[in-house]
Structure 1
Amino acid sequence: MAFPHLSEVLKILDGALKSNATMSTNYAGLLADKLEQAGEREEAARIRERLARAPTAIAHAQDAARGTFGLPVDSDSRLETIDESRPAKDSIRLHLSGGTAARIGDFLESVRHYDQLRAAKAASPLRLLIFGQPGTGKTQTARWVASELQLPLLTVRCDTLISSLLGQTSKNLRRVFDHAEQRPCVLFLDEFDALGSARGNERDVGELQRVVIALLQNIDALPENVIVIAASNHEKLLDPAIWRRFPFQISMPLPDPALRDDMWTTLLGQYAPADLDWNTLIDKSAGASGALIEQIVLDTKRKAILNAKPQIDKSELFRRLALALALAQGRSIASIGDEVRWLRDWDAKAFSIRELARLYNISTRQINHLIRGDHGDEGKYTRAR
C-alpha cells in the first residue's frame, strides 16, 4: 500500500541531509497540514509541537551561511528576483471554457494525488505550460492554482532575473530554483518566452544560448513534485526543448460565445439593465479577451455608481466595448469625432444620431458635424470620460 505523504517525508529527509533546517521545517509544516485535513489531528499536533521547539535561530544561521535566507536577489542590483504572494482560497473566480477548465482540473488532481500516481508509476512532473494571447487568464490561472492548493505563489521577476552581466542570469536562475525546492510553493514563470526563446535564430547570441541551457538544466534538476507553472504570450518563440519539460500544456483561447455569456452575466450582475440585448452583446464582443470584458464592465459600473444610477447605461456599455475593440485592433481614436465616426461604422442602428447626442451631451446638429468630419468644430466638444 502506498504511503500517502511520501513526498513530504522525502523533502524533510532531503533538508536534513543538506543541513537545511528551513527546508525540513517547511515541509514538516505541510505534512502537518495534510494530516489534519485527513482527520489525523493528533499526529498533526505532535508534528507542530516539535516544530514549535525547533531552534529557529540556528536554522536562520544555516540559511545565511548558504546565502539562501529570504527571497533570492540579483547580486548586481540587489533586487529580489521573486515576488511572493499568498492568494486566499476562494478569493479568485476563473472564467474559462469547459475544456480549458477540465484540463486545469486534471493538473490540479495530479498535484493532489501525486504520491498515489507515483506509486502506480503513472505520475508526470508537476509542470504546466499555459500559452495564449494577453488577457486570456494565464496569470489568474496560476494564482487560482496556488489558492486552491493553499500554497504561496512565487512569481519570477524577469526584469531583475535577466542581467546584463555575463553569466549572471544563469546564476540568478539557479538561486530561484534552489529557493523553490526548499519550500512548498507554486513557482510561476511569467512572460516565459523572455527566458525560453528558441536558440539558433539570426539574432541569437552566446549568452541567450547559455540562459536557455541553464533553464533546461535547472528544470531537469528540480524534483518532479515541485509545482512549476510557466506562461507565455508568444509560444512560437519557445525553444522546442522547453515543450518536452512540461507534460501539462494548456492553450488559453479568447472567450467563445458561451464563455462571453457567462462573463457578461456574472460580472454585470444586478447592474445589468432589464432591456439589455444579451445576444447582441455576446455577438458584438467576439474577439474580446476576458481581461478586456472585465475592464469594460468595471468602467461602466463605476460610471453608474458615480452617477447614482442603480444600473448601467446599455449604450454606454456598447460604447466602451466598441472603443476598446478599436484600440485592441490598433485603430487611432484620438478625438470625439474619431469616436463618433467609429461608433456609427460599428453599429449605426445602436448609435443613432439622437443616441449619440444623448451619450455625448451635445446637440444632434453637432453630432452631424462630427460625422461629416468638420474638424474646425471638434475642439468645441468635450465629454466627461
Structure 2
Amino acid sequence: MAASYAGLLAEKLETAGEREQAIMVRQRLVRAPKALASAQDAASPGGAGQLPIDGESRLHTVDFSRPSSGEVFVALPSGLERRVADFLDASRHYDVLARAGAAIPPRMLIFGPSGTGKTQSARWIAAQLGLPLLTVRCDTLVSSLLGQTSKNLRRVFEYAQGSPAVLFLDEVDALASARGNERDVGELQRVVVSLLQNIDALEENVVLIAATNHDRLLDPAVWRRFAFQLPMPLPDAGLRDQLWRKHLGAFGGTGVDFATLTACSAGVTGALIEQVSLDAKRHAVMARQTSVDEAETHRRLALAMALMQGKELSSVDDEVRWLRKLDMRRFSVRELSRLYGVTTRQINNMMKGSKSDGPQGKVE
C-alpha cells in the first residue's frame, strides 16, 4: 500500500513539474524490498543484517557498528573542526540544500600519518549523525580471483544504499592507488575504475568517508570524488595538552606537570599519547597509587618515542643509557635507580657499558 501511494506521489510530482523529486521517489521504490529486508534484519541481535560477503572466502567484507557520542573522543585543530561541522551540516540538511540547488554530496577524504585519529574521526561523525558505521574490510574485500574484488565492491555499495548509514573506506589506498604505474597489473587498474564507478553511482545523499595514510599514492580521479578533504596533522601543543588531560583523567592528579609533558611529546601522534597514558595508569593501578608517577610517565614516553624513531633498546642497559643521553637532569642516576629498582652503583655500571647484566645493544 505504501509503495502504491508512493507511485501516485511520483506521478503527481512529475505532472506538477517536479521531475527531480519524482525521480528520487521512484529510486526509493526500486530499493524498497532491500530497504525493508534491511530494516527487518536490523531488529535481530547485533542489528547488522545480511552483511555482504566475499564469494571466495565467505567472510564479511563490511564491519557493522553503532558508535555513540559518549564513547568516541576526537580532538581537532579549530580549522579542521569547522570543516567537519560543514560536512555534518551538508549531511543533515542535504534535502533542504538540494531543493535550493546548493547541495554538496557528503563525501569526505581523511588523510594523514598513522595514529592521528582518522578512524576515530569517522566513528565520531557517524555518532554525531546518529547512523551506523559500515567499515569496509580491505583484507577480505580484495580477492585473488579475477574480477571478484570488483564484485565485492559493488555488493558493498549496494548494501550501503539499503538503509541510512555511513560507509567508511579505511585504507582506501589499497583500492585506489594511482593508475599508470608500469608495474601495475590490469586487475588493479580495473579495481580503481570499479571504485570510481561505484562512487559515482551512489545516491548523492549517501554519507561516504574514506581514509588513508598514503595520500600521495591515491589516483587523482579519487580526489575529485570527495568534496570535503580533511588533512590530519600531528597534534599541536594545545591538542597535546588536551589529550594528556583527557587520557590520564583522574590519574593526572595535581602533581603532574602537563606543560612539561606537552613539551616533551612534541612530534608524536595522539595514539602514542593515549598508549603512554594507558601504560602509566596501569602501572599506577598495579602499584596501588591514585595518580601516575610523573617520572615513570616520562620514562615510558621517552622509550615510546625512541621506538618511533627506530632505536633498538633491547636491554635495560640500553634504556638507561638512552634516557641519560636524552635528559640527564630528569633521568638522574638516583631517579633511574628508583625507576628500575636497582642500586645507583648498578646504574653507573650500565652507563659505563658493563656486561654484567647481559648483552649490550648498540646505541646511536
* Change in CA separation of 1:84 and 1:9 when aligned onto 2, cut-off 3 Å: farther
Match of 1:204 among 181, 184, 190: 184
Residues 126 and 228 of structure 1 are in contact (CA less than 8 Å); yes or no, is this contact kept in structure 2?
Answer: yes
Match of 1:112 among 92, 98, 104: 92
* Change in CA separation of 1:179 and 1:376 when aligned onto 2, cut-off 3 Å: same
Residues 304 and 312 of structure 1 are in contact (CA less than 8 Å); yes or no, is this contact kept in structure 2?
Answer: yes
Question: 1:1-385 residue pairs with structure 2 within 5 A?
Answer: 13-18=26-31, 20-23=32-35, 70-378=50-358
TM-superposed CA distance for 1:375, in Å, is 2.1
Any idea what the Cα deviations from partners look like across 1:31-87, whole Å, max 9, x if unmatched? xxxxxxxxxxxxxxxxxxxxxxxxx69xxxxxxxxxxx7111111111111010111
Give TM-score, length-normalised by structure 2: 0.87
Pick which of 277-286 and 322-331 moved more. 277-286
TM-superposed CA distance for 1:9, in Å, is 9.7
TM-superposed CA distance for 1:269, in Å, is 2.5
CA distance in 2 between partners of 1:268 and 1:84 (Å): 30
CA distance in 2 between partners of 1:9 and 1:322 (Å): 62
The runs of 5 or more residues in structure 2 that have no matched partner are 1-19, 42-48
The runs of 5 or more residues in structure 1 that have no matched partner are 1-6, 30-55, 58-68, 381-385
**2:348 partner amino acid:** N
* Change in CA separation of 1:267 and 1:10 when aligned onto 2, cut-off 3 Å: farther
TM-superposed CA distance for 1:273, in Å, is 4.2
**2:35 partner amino acid:** M
**2:303 partner amino acid:** L
Residues 90 and 105 of structure 2 are in contact (CA less than 8 Å); yes or no, is this contact kept in structure 1?
Answer: no
Once superposed, what is the RMSD of the aligned Cα atoms?
2.1
Give TM-score, length-normalised by structure 1: 0.83
TM-superposed CA distance for 1:266, in Å, is 2.1
Any idea what the Cα deviations from partners look like across 1:82-127, whole Å, max 9, x if unmatched? 0101112332111222112221111111111111111121111111
**1:234 partner amino acid:** H
Residues 273 and 314 of structure 1 are in contact (CA less than 8 Å); yes or no, is this contact kept in structure 2?
Answer: no
Residues 11 and 23 of structure 1 are in contact (CA less than 8 Å); yes or no, is this contact kept in structure 2?
Answer: no
CA distance in 2 between partners of 1:86 and 1:12 (Å): 28
- SS state at 1:287 partner: coil
CA distance in 2 between partners of 1:148 and 1:11 (Å): 26
- SS state at 2:69 partner: coil
CA distance in 1 between partners of 2:305 and 2:133 (Å): 32
- SS state at 1:196 partner: coil
Residues 12 and 25 of structure 1 are in contact (CA less than 8 Å); yes or no, is this contact kept in structure 2?
Answer: no
**2:30 partner amino acid:** L
CA distance in 2 between partners of 1:353 and 1:141 (Å): 43
**1:313 partner amino acid:** D
Partner of residue 45, structure 2: none
CA distance in 1 between partners of 2:71 and 2:257 (Å): 30
CA distance in 2 between partners of 1:241 and 1:363 (Å): 62
Pick which of 161-170 and 98-107 moved more. 98-107
TM-superposed CA distance for 1:24, in Å, is 5.2
